[in-house]
Structure 1
Amino acid sequence: MLTITKKGDNRVDVDLNGHIDAVNMRVALDELIAASEGVEHGRMLYTIPEFAMPSLAAIGVEMTYLPGLFSLLGKYDRCAVLTDANWIQKAAEIEGALFPGIEIKGFDLDQVTLAEDWLDEAE
């Protein structure tokens, strides 16, 4: 399940927990794009307590959204990724290094306060 929550004018939280199918992917990406309207210097808290590979159909849906998703990169300055999977933390930080203008940092699931403090640092 992929859940999008707008937490403020410039804060969006994404929760990825378990299996994602094409329907859930489409709904969540539409919600992410809508929640990102008007965001400037945004912050994102991405929580992944349990990762499962999305279905092939969900990946196909995501591919159709890529142009819109790339346009979101300019709206966000920081993204904290909460997960106990070290490989996801490292992959997220590498992704942040590849895309200019956004810092991505990984945190353990029990470091919510530390992650939120980091998100708020540069405001």
Structure 2
Amino acid sequence: MLEFISPPAEHVVAMRVGGVVTAQELQQAIDAIEAAKRHHPRVSLLAELDGLRLMTFPALLKDVGYGLTQIGDLEHYHRAAVVTDKEWIKHIAQLEDRLFKAVEIRTFPSHDHSAAMEWVCELPRGDHENPEDDGYHGA
């Protein structure tokens, strides 16, 4: 199950992932990310992953394939906040943070959800689309 949650800022794609994720659900996430990239110079992601059990094999292939296509396009990404209390997910996020230096990836415990929202909304200096707007719209 993958469902979108209200994004805390326009450049953020936010989702809650639980149970089993299918290729169709993953494609919806990819479509949302690609749409955000067309409208914003830098995109950030927020994923709540505590209920995640597994991805179907076609979803896993789609995820890996999409990830590989993005390696040459990392300048469009800024941050990824992963909200979870599961240690195995934290380890994967830490590994990805080391592998993809162009994107800041940070994990947050479930009780620190508001800190994750605030952090993922921040844009690098000069990348604010509206100078009066800090990007955070509350949650």
TM-score range, shorter chain: 0.7 to 0.9
Name 1:16's counterpart in structure 2: 17
Shift of 1:55: 0.8
Shift of 1:51: 1.3
Name 2:50's counterpart in structure 1: 49
| Distance in 1 (alpha carbons) for counterparts of 2:103 and 2:55 | 24
Aligned residue pairs, count: 123
Shift of 1:68: 4.3
- Spell out the pairing of 1:29-108 with structure 2 (5 A cutoff): 29-70=30-71, 73-108=74-109
| Distance in 1 (alpha carbons) for counterparts of 2:6 and 2:71 | 19
Q: Larger C-alpha radius of gyration, 1 or 2? A: 2
Shift of 1:62: 2.8
TM-score, normalising length: structure 1: 0.80
Shift of 1:48: 0.7
Matched-pair identity in %: 25
Q: Name the SS of the counterpart of 1:53 in structure 2.
A: strand
What amino acid is aligned across from residue 79 of structure 2 in structure 1? Answer: R
Residue ranges of structure 1 left out of the alignment (5+ in a row): none
Superposition RMSD on alpha carbons, in Å? 2.4
Task: Assess, with a 3 A threshold, how the Cα gap between structure 1 residues 2 and 68 changes in structure 2: closer, same or farther.
Answer: farther
Task: Assess, with a 3 A threshold, how the Cα gap between structure 1 residues 86 and 66 changes in structure 2: closer, same or farther.
Answer: closer
Displacement over 6 Å in runs of 4+ = none
Q: Name the SS of the counterpart of 1:19 in structure 2.
A: strand
1:2 aligns with 2:2: yes
TM-score, normalising length: structure 2: 0.72
CA contact (8 A) 2:79 2:104 kept: yes
Shift of 1:103: 0.9
Shift of 1:63: 4.1
Task: Assess, with a 3 A threshold, how the Cα gap between structure 1 residues 17 and 59 changes in structure 2: closer, same or farther.
Answer: same
